[in-house]
Structure 1
């Protein structure tokens, strides 16, 4: 039993390493990785071009010019805005362009290029309420929505009595405004014009100002060679007036997006390719998380029941720590913090590892309860027949224990499928990631999420039924 568990854990690490090496088939081809949050039209956003989901925007055009001057292929990594700095400082991306202000706080973590664009701020409110918020004084005491970790958040915090609501995505903020959860949203003028619903929203005459409303490109501390090259590219683009050209083209492209009036099923069918891709990633991560969580959980359960105090203490500590901390925190520690010790995982590896380690802690206690629930007399009878303790555990105790705890194990598997949605925070293209892409590219606030919920329900419902069939078959064998 112990040898098989060791082989299983070895296989676990081998699969993780294999998943990370697949993307490196290009070998020696020079690449440069851009980190961005593609929900900020016309800076960067998703748009279907020739049937392919593509990240476009004037920030992206600037990044292409930087890559061209470096003689490198540009790779775009889309993630949430507040994850961009960890992505950069951990070395997962080479530079960041995402409408980012070079604030003093950020300069303590990363270096910035010369500014390439100056922003104009605006206030969005519901139609019919613009007279209430036509001045900055009118915003005092209001509920104000802003993008997390943005310059707008700093502006809002400086408004007396304002109740600031900070979220990752601009579409989420506008949905909050439309549903009455906030009174106003602070955003840049081009962002506001591109993303807001002009039938229900309007831009007021209020003019928010900030000490630093310029945008710059972020690089890791000390990467002077890349920073110098970026500044040279920006100087060329400014000299040739290409940045303004990129802004105009991106604004026209963003304005060409239309709002779909589809029901949930029509929406799913139209964008089924997005969801099918998301289902593949969700099933891959969930399946491997379940398999390795099962193996590791059984191993930890046996450690927990060991008579060796050190081994038992290690297992108990692991279980308590993992069960006592949120899975999202565990995901960020594995994906970002471990890179400080030169331990770097790809997003898929981090997702599989987090799900496996988290699930193992819960399954370990389930296994322990099942093993202890088997009558001890059966173990003693097996030993009296000449079986070793390992043989008795493998052939007598474990089969009965697993049969008794199958419903609890099945419930844990269902939980893994649902909680796999957290991997979208680190850029894995799962169901939730695809839903967020569609929310930004179609202006549909609810349909992408309703379709995602329907898919998760179908997956968990089918799994529950299959586990029920298996449980009935095992019960039927007991009655023979």
Structure 2
């Protein structure tokens, strides 16, 4: 018990340290009062916002970022950047996780119902991005009728694509994923921002801009803020007016376009150049998996004991918990904990929110594994233990649980391997695990498949090592048989 308590204390300390490392990025609606302006963006959209290695350090750059820096400067605040998927930005804004959202966002009437916007700071046209060999196939928008069209989810480009007659629309959250769909021939064309299309055409010889030109009235971009923040909107509009009058926005666009230089798609070059990025992802994946394994295991044991309890409320509560957690998607549970709970005053840093979601979900499955193990032990052993004067809890602790654990160790090992793989879902809320870093590298290098292969190999190394270690533990336990 002393060892277990020491381990729990150590893990709690690690969680607090990891959580505190993300506290500044989890500052909510009042962060401007504490001299911090938290910007939410989707940094896979050059030249607006994208990742770039500068002096060996990964940074989020782009002309949206430069404008945000000016906004923070005029407010006397420090700019904190949160990178997340585009379709999570407004959710994060309304839950207070970020102060402003900038990601080439159009102030459409639908969005204005939920958030407020600054004045327009940039206007651009749209384009059709295709594979280079198909450039001459699409002269007008009519040539896209009945085709497979890709677009970023929850954007006006998705609306434009869906307005094309008989078109099959494939909408994804990350621009890098949509680009991969085009290169792998899953879609025939992409509807994107013209500067973004030009950036990808310049850096990928396999892509080209078609002659077809989409038309949309919603081609201006503004900064989104939470409803009711008129003071913040007023401050931002003053800065935007100043930048427009000084003609600085055009300069930011030119500089960001030059900065979005060609990346290297060679897998070995990428691995060497971004090894520190991938290793950082491995560290956070391992840490998150370790925390999940320990707390999920402990909670799973508690749940199975509650389910087998003679106290009916405990039994009903455990059954309801297990069935609900197993019957709902992990992504929904993660979003409720990270984005939903702040609305009732409960807020966690993103690492702790991710660990809680994974632990609660894993505990439900482990509880059923433990129940199967306990029921596999002959009931006569419990009766014998009770006849020798042992209490119910003592017999369970010293007689039943050790044997049950040995019986279900392979199933527990499989659950641990699943945890390592499922932890990739936390990239949705910005935890820099392997999958998050893979997307960063893919966006920085304009490479499609190589970063995915590197991520797959890293996950395989982790899960294979875990399986072998559990195999050693299983053989040692069997030695006593």
TM-score, structure 2 as length reference: 0.94
The equivalent of 1:184 in structure 2 is 189
Deviations 1:90-115 (A, max 9, x none): 10101011100001111111100000
Q: 2:273 aligned to 270, 273, 276, which one?
A: 270
User: How far apart are 1:198 and its partner, in Å?
Assistant: 4.7
- Paired residues, what number? 474
1:165 equivalent in structure 2 = 170
- C-alpha contact (below 8 Å) 1:123/1:185 kept by paired residues: yes
1:20 counterpart residue number: 19
Determine whether 1:202 maps to 2:208.
yes
- Report the equivalent of 1:426: 429
Deviations 1:157-180 (A, max 9, x none): 111111111112222222222221
Q: How far apart, in 2, do the equivalents of 1:354 and 1:162 lie?
A: 38
Distance 2:22 2:193 in 1: 36
* Distance in 1 between residues matched to 2:196 and 2:5, nearest whole Å: 53
Does the Cα contact within 8 Å between 1:110 and 1:218 map onto a contact in 2? yes
Instruction: Tell me the alpha carbon deviations over residues 404-425 of structure 1, each in whole angstroms, 9 at most, x when there is no partner.
Output: 1111111100000000000001
Q: Work out which of the residue numbers 227, 235, 238 in structure 2 matches 1:232.
A: 238
Unaligned residue ranges in structure 1 (runs of 5+): none
What is the alpha-carbon distance in structure 1 between the residues aligned to residue 42 and residue 20 of structure 2? 25
In the alignment, the residues of structure 1 paired with residue 74 and residue 231 of structure 2 have an alpha-carbon distance, to the nearest angstrom, of: 13
1:258 equivalent to 2:262? Answer yes
Q: Does 1:115 align with 2:120?
A: yes
Distance 1:424 1:22, change over 3 A: closer
The verdict on how the C-alpha distance between 1:384 and 1:168 changes in structure 2, with shifts beyond 3 A counting, is same
Matched, 1:36 2:41: yes
Q: CA deviation at 1:10?
A: 9.9
8 Å contact kept, 1:99–1:215: yes
Point out where structure 2 has 5 or more consecutive residues left out of the alignment.
none
Q: Classify the secondary structure of the residue corresponding to 1:222.
A: coil
Q: Is residue 8–residue 295 contact of structure 1 (8 Å, CA) maintained in 2?
A: no
The whole-number CA distance in structure 2 between the counterparts of 1:304 and 1:11 is 29
Change (3 A) 1:17 1:105: farther
Deviations 1:64-115 (A, max 9, x none): 0000001111000001111111111110101011100001111111100000
Q: Give the alignment of 1:144-155 within 5 angstroms.
A: 144-155=149-160
> Hey, what's the Cα distance between the residues in 2 that align with 1:199 and 1:306?
65
Query: Is contact 1:277-1:430 (8 Å) kept?
Result: yes
For residues 421 and 374 of structure 2, the distance between their equivalents in structure 1, rounded to whole angstroms, comes to 27
Q: Encode CA deviations 1:448-472: one digit per residue, 9 max, x unaligned.
A: 1111100100000001000000110
Q: How large is the Cα RMSD of the aligned pairs?
A: 2.3
Whole-Å separation in 2 of the counterparts to 1:53 and 1:452: 18
Secondary structure class of the residue paired with 2:133: coil
Task: Tell me which residue corresponds to 2:251.
Answer: 245
For residues 399 and 250 of structure 1, the distance between their equivalents in structure 2, rounded to whole angstroms, comes to: 61
Aligned pairs (5 A) from 1:343-354: 343-354=346-357
Out of 276, 299, 303, the residue aligned to residue 302 of structure 2 is 299
Q: Distance in 1 between matches of 2:140 and 2:63?
A: 31
State the alpha-carbon separation in 2 of the partners of residues 166 and 389 from structure 1. Answer: 56
In the aligned structure 2, how far is the partner of 1:318 from the partner of 1:298? 13
Q: 1:135 aligns with which of 103, 117, 140?
A: 140
- Partner secondary structure for residue 186 of structure 1: strand
Shift of 1:267: 2.9
1:112-164 Cα offsets, whole Å, 9 max, x none, are: 00000001111112233233311011111111111111111111111111111
Aligned counterpart in structure 2 of residue 457 of structure 1, from 447, 456, 460:
460
The CA deviation at 1:12 is 8.0
Distance (Å, rounded) in 2 between the aligned partners of 1:4 and 1:278:
29
Give, in whole Å, the separation in 1 of the partners of 2:471 and 2:255: 56
> Counterpart of 2:342?
339
Distance across 1 between alignment mates of 2:345 and 2:252? 38
Deviation of 1:200 (Å) = 2.3
Q: Is the 8 A contact 1:9 1:295 kept in 2?
A: no
Residue 339 (structure 1) shift: 1.8
Instruction: Describe the SS at the equivalent of 2:37.
Output: strand
**Helix, strand or coil at the partner of 1:408:** helix
